[in-house]
Structure 1
Amino acid sequence: MTTAPVRSPYALAEQLEGWLGDPHDPANPFSFARLGALDRAERFPAEACRRLDELGLPRWFVPEALGGALRSAEELSLIIRTLGRRDFTVALAHTKTYLGAVCAWVAGADDQARRLAGRVLDGAVVSLALTERSHGSDLLAGELTAVPAGPGRHRLDGEKWLINNATRADLVTVLARTDPKGGARGFSLFLVDKSQLAEGSWQAMPALPTHGVRGADISGISFTGAEVPADALVGAAGEGLEIVLRGFQITRTLCSAMTLGMADQALRIGTGFAEEHRLYGRPLAELPQAGRVLAEAYADLLAAEAVSLVATRSIHTLTGEQSVVSAVVKYLVPTIGDETIAAVRQLLGARAMLVRDHADGTFQKIERDHRIVGIFDGSTAVNLNYLVNQFPVLVRGWNAGLADTAGVEAAAGLDTEVPPLDPGALTLYARSGCSVVQSLPAAAREVSRRAPGTPLAALAERLLGLAGELHGELAAHRPSARQVPERAFALARDYTLLYAGAAALHLWLHTPSGRWSDDGWPEAVLTRLVRRLTGEPDLDDEDGPALDRLLPALRRQHAAGRLFSLLHCDLAEAGRPTTEEGA
């Protein structure tokens, strides 16, 4: 790869796309045909991962302050999105190292973080081992123990199961019970170097067959009297669960990039079919029903992208609110992705089920693979429940009009660089609420000032009215630790849609309008989001014009072979560094 990172995250993604080569060349290890064949054979994509190592991609798993190339979560997000667009098994397998290392980046001692950084830069694979066979995502029930074993050492006993890269990893970050009584302060994290363990003290567990990502190393690891030194402890004893949850605020947000990559490719396959397949003497894309399916899928994908862009940049600019934002993203974006992929499946019909005879079987692989995104790093229910627990702070923040205006503007202003991440600012609860939502009244006023009397201004006002009603219902909710009513989950779901609408408006307001390839996108996005919030049926005479205006942009981006994205614009083209400038 280059000797220095490209400054523009999007330019880095385009450069990576070029390095991956022609996806339709069967001789290319990153081709759809080769990767599809590996999936059918349930074989790990070793050659593709080796090529990524040779390109130097692991440098973007290490923060720049530790000698790596990673300057912002936005860069890593676009790398993940580009890999996910090509093949999710490769994306999951290769970028798992960042997930395995993030706890050390967040809370590790300086010398520990630097040692790990050196190992990652040398090509070491790192895994994160949290879950166990009997307890799933209930981390407080974990039984793997770490007990003192002499001065400055701990002995690990137990197993972790359903772990990505557990067998391939050189190092594993392990959550272990250090207090027999358990509880929130009863667990600690250990960075375990397999090569330093005594022979016979650990064992890789067999790989597990899975419905999606069939070639991935989804396995487990067991320890029997495995002794680790004092410097294996990440953070302080008893802080393991808190560190994991703080790390999740980054990785849950980055999961949105996986959805965007796969949904982009699914929509690309559907659009290609609609352009080539003719019915009644016309391309299917020009028939009203098919065109509407494509436009709605595109609008939903842009809504997911708006959420992802603002939330990912918020890691740096609204760090103390990321406990709320990451839960919003981790629920909403994979959910929209599932629905988008399902809509394209209906358009493709039987072709969606073919494993090799249409588009190299890529669509059916995407549909299988994407289902896992809503499960790992906290399932849909876990993230909605996390939001339910923060209803009181969200209501207080809304009623008080609390908002970090500068943080919102920096998160939504795509032409500005974000500041370096301060991991110490990550907190388990967003004490002031969520600024992106809480600044919605000011955003709606500004939209009305800039575009008075337009459908977009009307939609912004409608969204603001719905926000007031929703916060009223949130205020009426009475928390219960054991029995969370179904209505609370529905309110949490609506809050994620409200965040999406606010994020879209902030992007439109705080990024110069000349940047957008199609300035009508926010109307289409908000039209869809408001319908989801109200449950009202789509009305062709009201919703149709905004969606119809969006369809040509989709077809242009498909013809150009580029990401289906808000990121295409004249200003971005003028400001994109050349290969020499980025080298």
Structure 2
Amino acid sequence: MTVAAPTVGTVDRFTRHLHRLTGPGLALDAGELAALDRADAFPADACRALDEAGLPRHYVPTEHGGALDDFGVVMRLLRAVSRIDLTVAAAHGKTYLGAVSTWLAGAEEPARRLARRITDGEVVSCALTERHHGSDLLAGEVVARPAADGGWLLDGEKWLINNATRAGLVTVLARTDDAGGPRGFSLFLVDKARLAPGTYTCPPKVPTYGIRGADISGIALHGARVPADALIGRPGQGVEIIVKALHITRTCCAAMSLGAGDHALALAADFAAGHPADDGTPLARRPHVRRELGEATAGLLLAEATGLVAVRALHSLTGEMSVLSAVAKAYVPAQIDALIARLLHLLGPHGLLGPGDPHGQFAKAERDHRIIGIFDGSSLVNRSALIEQFPRLARGYRKGRVDAAGLAEATSPHIRPRPFAPAALSLLSTTGNSLLAGLPDAVAELRERARHRGDLAAPAALATRLLDATGRLHEAMAAVRFPPRAVPAEAFDLAERYELCCAAACALHLWLRGGPADGDVTWLRGCLVKALTDLGEPVEDDEAAVLDDLAGLLLDRPSGSFVSLLDRLESPS
């Protein structure tokens, strides 16, 4: 295997460019961004700087003239932005959500027109939710009716929409059949500049707890006429297209959570290393502080493993993304929320100070990240999507249905993924989840390696207990029965446990495929200990001591920096 050099170069160049923009008075200066946050002001200069750095080209597939041929690159670029400021990342990255439906619909000329607009800096928004219906898309009341002289007339209001006011183009989901239902809605790419005066208004920006400067507003349409070519796909295809689009965007949301996690963990580690305890020694020397830092590090590594595998699976396990995107979107933001809450206790009152204080960046990161769990479907919505697939998932696990080639590619981060095939996206996974169905073989491989390498005995034992817990979980999933819209509470607990098993499986598969045979095993042990602990499985004190080792590795890195999982997976020669 070889590292995809163009990918590495793209990410490294972009990251270095961002750092050059973080000095005083520059577009990504932390002080300036904090001031904008206090004023609830949009970070226009920062977004413009990202435009100039070429980030919009990575929202456009290469077949339409852009640079997007690897979703892993997009994730790493947005993670780098999120590490600096989550408001900027959320404001800029939402253009991809606005555009992706057009990419999936497959019509070449509309896609090329949109591609040109985006690469020229146009902002695109996606208007799905409504004031009285939230994420229940099938209850939407915005309607589109055929106009007498051609085209469509749109009426109704979309609300709590990111970039609704600032965007020049808005993808709108509208009811085109009075009966509604899955085939009763269509998608339209609305160009505000082509609407007649008075046929649309944008309600005021909604004040938010986090990402205060973002344009969270809405758009109200009043008999707004759009041309026939504004229709995305075919009439009645809107829900199908948007659900498939969400498989992609939910997965890529992990980038923003991971960037926030990087930032929060680096801030907390620097605080613990430099802040004295009552006896004058650094807090980081206190055993309970090191354990907290180690557990937070393990949580971030699990979240990163999940996001990394899920985003590569878009290319190689595309038909299973109804499962993997739901896992990534439910698990990664929730894990980062838990990580930040853990670190907030460690920082104490310093974690709540304003941006004028040396430690005040943490409070902003804590506030900003809260909203990521809501973007593109909350954890509740995504766990519901998993629960609907419990019978298929349990059956696929029992029968050992594994796409071996796709799984190997998804868990080999140093090779280029195969081209993304949008037609392979499916509303439901018919085969199950290769990631967990392939767990027995992965555990067997780790055990075999442990016969020849002594330090693998401990992770092999942990992985064996994970496998046992995963088997019991699937038996419980198979036994769940419920009528429509009456999901029992215990099913959501099972879904949460399913995410944990997937996260641990991601870490194991990545360790086996992503690095050399003699690679460091500390991070894998930490991930397995953290996952088993969260699953409520017994973990011995000597096994949990690996969390202290992870804390030591965290504290040894340069101040303000982070060490990603990709850094830990040594590049194969």
Same-fold call, TM cutoff 0.5? yes
- Name 1:581's counterpart in structure 2: none
- 1:481 partner letter: P
Q: CA deviation at 1:480?
A: 2.2
Within-5 A mapping of 1:77-476: 77-279=75-277, 280-359=279-358, 361-452=360-451, 454-476=457-479
- Deviation per CA, 1:297-318: give whole Å up to 9, x if none: 0011000000000000000000
Q: Distance in 2 between matches of 1:428 and 1:160?
A: 24
Q: Note if contact 2:511-2:569 (Cα within 8 Å) is conserved in structure 1.
A: no
Paired with 1:177 and 1:138, the residues of 2 have a C-alpha distance of: 13
**What is the deviation of 1:413?**
0.5
Looking at structure 1, the residues matched to 517 and 27 of structure 2 have their Cα atoms a distance apart, in angstroms, of 38
CA distance in 2, matches of 1:405, 1:163: 40
1:227 alignment partner AA: R
CA distance in 2, matches of 1:425, 1:511: 25
Matched to 1:330, the amino acid is K
User: Cα distance, 1:205 vs. partner?
Assistant: 1.4
Residue segments in structure 1 that go unaligned for 5+ positions in a row:
1-5, 576-583
Correspondence 1:66-77 to 2 at 5 A: 66-77=64-75
Question: Which stretch shows the higher mean deviation, 72-81 or 546-555?
Answer: 546-555
Alignment partner, residue 527 of structure 2 = 525
Does the aligned pair in 2 maintain the 1:32–1:360 contact within 8 Å?
no
Relative distance call for 1:361 and 1:514 in structure 2 (3 A) is farther
What is the CA–CA distance in structure 1 between the aligned matches of 2:406 and 2:56, rounded to whole Å?
A: 29
Deviation of 1:567 (Å): 1.3
Given that 1:145 and 1:158 are in contact with CA atoms closer than 8 Å, whether structure 2 keeps it comes out as yes
Deviation at 1:7? 4.5
TM-score of the pair, normalised by structure 1:
0.94
The CA RMSD measured in Å over matched residues stands at 1.7
Determine the C-alpha separation between the residues in 1 that align with 2:490 and 2:568.
41
1-structure distance, mates of 2:21, 2:293: 23
Shift of 1:102: 0.7
Kept in 2, the 8 Å contact 1:10–1:78? The answer is no
| Structure 1 CA distance for aligned equivalents of residues 568 and 486 of structure 2 | 49
CA contact (8 A) 2:186 2:231 kept: yes
CA distance in 2, matches of 1:130, 1:225: 18
Q: What CA distance in whole angstroms lies between the structure 1 residues aligned with 2:522 and 2:498? A: 24
| CA pair 372-494 structure 1, distance change in 2 beyond 3 A | same
Structure 1 residue 29: Cα displacement: 2.0
Under a length normalisation based on structure 2, what TM-score does the superposition of the two structures give? 0.96
Cα distance per residue 1:557-581 (max 9 Å; x no partner): 344x543311115854x98xxxxxx
Between the aligned partners of 2:378 and 2:518, the Cα distance in structure 1 is: 35
Contact 2:482–2:488, Cα closer than 8 Å, also in 1: no
User: Structure 2 matches for 1:439-518, cutoff 5 A?
Assistant: 439-452=438-451, 454-513=457-516, 518=520
Q: Summarize the Cα distance change of 1:570–1:525 in structure 2 as closer, same or farther, 3 Å threshold.
A: closer
Query: 2:514, 2:569 within 8 Å by CA — same for their partners in 1?
Result: no
Q: Distance in 2 between matches of 1:125 and 1:15?
A: 24
- Residues 157-206 of structure 1, C-alpha deviations (whole Å, 9 max, x = no match): 11100000000001000000000111111000001111111111111111
How high is the sequence identity, in percent, across the aligned residues? 49
Q: CA deviation at 1:501?
A: 1.1
Q: CA deviation at 1:361?
A: 2.3
Out of 284-293 and 175-184, give the one that drifted further. 284-293
CA change 1:515–1:114 in 2 (3 A) is: farther
Deviation at 1:17, TM superposition (A): 2.4
Contact 1:307–1:329 (8 Å) recurs in 2: yes
CA contact (8 A) 2:350 2:359 kept: no
One-letter amino acid of the counterpart of residue 232, structure 1: A
- Distance in 1 (CA, whole Å) between partners of 2:49 and 2:331 is 33
Asked if 2 retains the 8 angstrom alpha-carbon contact of 1:160 and 1:222, the reply is yes
Q: What residue identity is the alignment partner of 1:440?
A: L
Distance 1:105 1:402, change over 3 A: same
In structure 2, how many angstroms separate the alpha carbons of the residues matched to 1:496 and 1:434? 12
Q: What is the Cα deviation at residue 23 of structure 1? A: 7.4
Instruction: Check whether the contact 2:15–2:77 (CA below 8 A) recurs between aligned residues.
Output: no
Please list every run of 5 or more consecutive structure 2 residues that lacks an aligned counterpart in the other structure.
none
1:360 deviates by: 6.1
Alignment coverage as a number of residue pairs: 565
Note the alpha carbon deviations across 1:41-74, whole angstroms, 9 max, x for none. 1110011111111122111110111100111110
